[in-house]
Amino acid sequence: MAGTQPDDLSDHGRLMSALAEQLKLPLVQIAHGLESGAYKPQALADNARLAIKLIDSYLLTNTHSRQESLLLEPVPLSAVLQDVAHQLYGHAKRYNCQVELNIAGRYQPVMSHKNYLQGALLALGYSFIEAASNSDTKATITLAAHRTKQGISGGVFGLENLRSEFFRKARQLYGTANQPLTSDSASSSVGMFIADTLLGQMNTPLHVARHQNQKGLAATFIPSTQLKLV
């Protein structure tokens, strides 16, 4: 799926099916909280915000399917990662996770689409947090970027049980079976599939990668050749 455009309805149908399955949990939590009064207003708001952002990211995949091409522009990857990390803090706290930002150097902008990139990383971060919440200890999710021979790699890390073969199988089965990010996760991981679709539309497909001592999913971006004015 990655590296190609999901032009046919079956791809979007599978993605919508996975999204609908994922949205059950926050909606049930909101309903339960309103009925029982057990949830604080902030927790209810966080659940609603999660559902809205996942839907927004999904809608981006539909938007591009109706266009001939997606115009790329210089985007500051470090700034996008920092913004996404900030948005994930509240969600991570409720799942007993810690979010860290690790930018290994100063980089020029990369060729991407800011809204698609931000939507992809945010959706991916949500999936990682929910998958890592099954750990007996407090998990650490890292949003990171580093330079490679192919360009600048950016992604989300923190799942040691993530394997390339499991990721490939999840790509094939999402939307038709409950296919979580790792074998010990109960999450449907729709955020991963949304991210994979959005990044694939920019020809920057997701792949299993490692940043320092953490495994995760990342995409490799081409640095912009546009001169940076100081």
71-110 residue pLDDT tens: 899 999 999 999 999 999 888 888 889 999 999 788 899 9
Interval 50-77: pLDDT, tens:
788 888 888 887 775 544 567 899 999 9
229 found inside a domain = no
Q: Into how many domains does the chain fold?
A: 1
**Token code pair at residue 48:** 């609603």
115 found inside a domain = yes
13 found inside a domain = yes
Give me the CATH number covering residue 131. 3.30.565.10
138 found inside a domain = yes
Interval 129-154: pLDDT, tens:
888 776 667 889 999 999 999 999 99
67 CB contacts (<8 Å, ≥6 apart)?
none
The residue segments making up the domain with residue 16 are: 9-221
Interval 160-216: pLDDT, tens:
777 777 677 766 665 455 555 555 454 557 888 889 889 988 999 899 999 988 999
Strands (E) located in 58-213: 73-75, 97-103, 110-112, 139-147, 152-157, 207-211
Give the count of beta carbons closer than 10 Å to the beta carbon of residue 87.
16
1 found inside a domain = no
When the pLDDT of each residue in the chain is averaged and rounded to a whole number, the result is 79
Indicate the SS3 state at residue 73: strand
Please check whether residue 206 is in contact with residue 215, taking contact to mean a CB–CB distance below 8 angstroms.
Answer: no
2 found inside a domain = no
3 found inside a domain = no
